[in-house]
Amino acid sequence: MLRFLVSQLRHSPARATALAGAVVVAAVAFVLLSSAAKTTDLRVKGSVRSNFRTAYDILVRPPGSTTGLERRAGLVRPNYLSGIFGGITMKQYRRIKKIHGVEVAAPIANVGFVLPFASTGINLTKLLNLDPFQLYRIRATWVADDGTSRYPGGSPYVYFTRRDRWIRSVGFRPGGELIRGSNELVDPCLGFAESRPSAYGPFGGDQLSYMSCYSARSPQTGVDQWPQSNGVLPEGAIGTAVSGYFPIFVAAIDPVQEARLVHLDRTIVRGRYLRESDAPKVVFTKPKLRPGEPASFGRPTGKRYLPTIVSARAYVGETLRLTIERLRLPKGVDVPRTLAQGRSYDFVMRLPGHQVERRCIPLSALYAFLFECRRSSKYAQALPDQNESDSYWTSSPTRYCVRDLDRVGQFVT
């Protein structure tokens, strides 16, 4: 092998010279590239160190809110602003403001999560056929992370009859579907609701199945008319509605101090910034009585309204995918009475169906509608309570499982 190499160098000097030159060029290029990368790295680190500054120079938290990992490693957990509930007293806050050298003292009082929602109509009018009884299932699925994550939503149902008409309930007199040729009233929607399993929790309602009932003979007297009356569906349309929830974290701030600290007042794109004089207000309304309803139903009710600053964008990439199925009803089954009886839910769950349509609704579109309905006169009367909440939720403290105390960065939550 050595004799062969010497022979090649002796008889092909040009080829050997070219090869040596290529090796030298590659080595020099590699050295220059490494030097440039190190120089860029040093510049980036220097720029970050000279310009980086936290929002707070001194962070004051209530006693007992420091985790063991923070004490051992000298760290501050990333959720120190939104993951702590409770705090210091107003007396302690005033003492902090009087400390010499304190220029800005901006308090934050975490309240919890509220779940405002926006609804969108699912119009099935064009999908109806000539069958006397029809039942439709809408399978809702939330898709996130570019389609890699899927979460089941609710499964609303729509019942439609061409044979019977509906009688509206008045006061304590029940309404329902009037069976043709008799004086019997049945309520398929109520039977379905009473036989379904219950769900509780901040997102429990998403897993519930519910039914909307309509009749071609009395189109304005269905059980679930709110999508029509509130503008979610066109008047006279057959369908239902699905809702998208937006967990929003609510925190109370001092608007003056917050503006001085992080210039929050410069982020307003519509409306105005909070004033120090802004305060909650209670508005009383007196509902209108329907014929036959007792006077106690007309008592005024009050709601407390809070001035808030809300993000104009929903920083979520979820999409609601809907699969609409027409269910196959067994022959010889009395559909209205079967749906109205105590095992209606089990009966409907077992019904096979075939897909008639698919739809996709981006969650960002529902978020935009959520706040558009508050500004638009078109929805001001139809959706007066779209942003109201009768409860709020708090999250449990974050727990850390430390894998290696010597390497602080190696921990998982």
Tens-binned pLDDT, residue by residue, of the chain (413 aa): 556 555 655 555 656 565 555 565 566 555 555 555 555 555 555 566 666 667 678 888 888 888 888 888 888 887 777 778 878 888 999 999 999 989 899 998 888 888 887 888 899 999 999 999 999 999 988 898 878 888 888 789 999 999 998 887 765 667 788 898 888 889 998 889 888 877 656 555 545 678 889 999 887 765 555 555 456 788 888 998 888 878 888 898 999 999 998 899 999 988 899 998 898 888 888 777 766 667 766 778 788 888 888 888 877 778 889 999 999 999 989 999 999 988 899 999 999 999 999 999 888 878 877 766 555 444 333 333 445 677 888 888 777 777 665 554 444 44
Is residue 81 within 8 Å of residue 258, measured between CB atoms? no
- DSSP codes, 22-84: HHHHHHHHHHHHHHHHHHHHHHHHHHHHHH---S-SS----TT---HHHHHHT---TTTTTS-
Q: Which residues contact 218 (CB under 8 A, 6 or more apart)?
A: 165, 166, 167
CA distances (Å), origin 335, targets 31, 135, 332: 81, 10, 9
48 Cα distance to chain centroid: 34
Interatomic CA distance for residues 368 and 229, integer angstroms = 21
Interatomic CA distance for residues 310 and 388, integer angstroms = 14
**185-186 vs 281-285, strand pairing mode:** unpaired
SS3 content of the chain, % helix, strand, coil (to 5): 30, 25, 45
The secondary structure element, H or E, covering residue 346 is: helix 344-349
Interatomic CA distance for residues 376 and 364, integer angstroms = 18
